[in-house]
């Protein structure tokens, strides 16, 4: 049995909620026929559209997501 309280500081409440509240858990399933996708860099038109919808400049978008915007790093 894993002793998460001792090793990680994660505990369960009486209603089985995890504390601290920032704790995460999940169920992960795999299948040989599963297909996954990767998130690539945004194209210039996507950056401009997103900036327009947020009411900010494309430069500000690049600052928010430098790893996704080409030329921003």
- pLDDT tens by residue, 6-60: 777 888 889 888 888 877 777 888 889 988 777 788 899 999 999 999 999 999 9
Above 70 in pLDDT, residue 2? no
- State whether the Cα torsion 28-65-43-60 is positive or negative: positive
Exposure string of 26-35, with b = 16+ CB inside 10 Å and e = fewer, is eeeeeeeeee
Q: What is the pTM of this model?
A: 0.48
The Cα–Cα gap between 44 and 69 comes to: 8
Q: Is the per-residue pLDDT at 67 higher than 70?
A: yes
Question: What are the boundaries of each domain within the chain?
Answer: 40-73
């Amino acid at each position: 049995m894993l002793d998460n309280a001792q090793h990680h500081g994660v505990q369960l409440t009486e209603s089985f909620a995890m504390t601290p509240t920032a704790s995460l858990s999940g169920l992960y399933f795999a299948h040989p026929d599963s297909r996954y996708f990767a998130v690539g860099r945004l194209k210039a038109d996507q950056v401009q559209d997103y900036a327009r919808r947020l009411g900010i400049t494309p430069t500000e978008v690049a600052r928010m997501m430098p790893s996704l915007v080409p030329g921003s790093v």
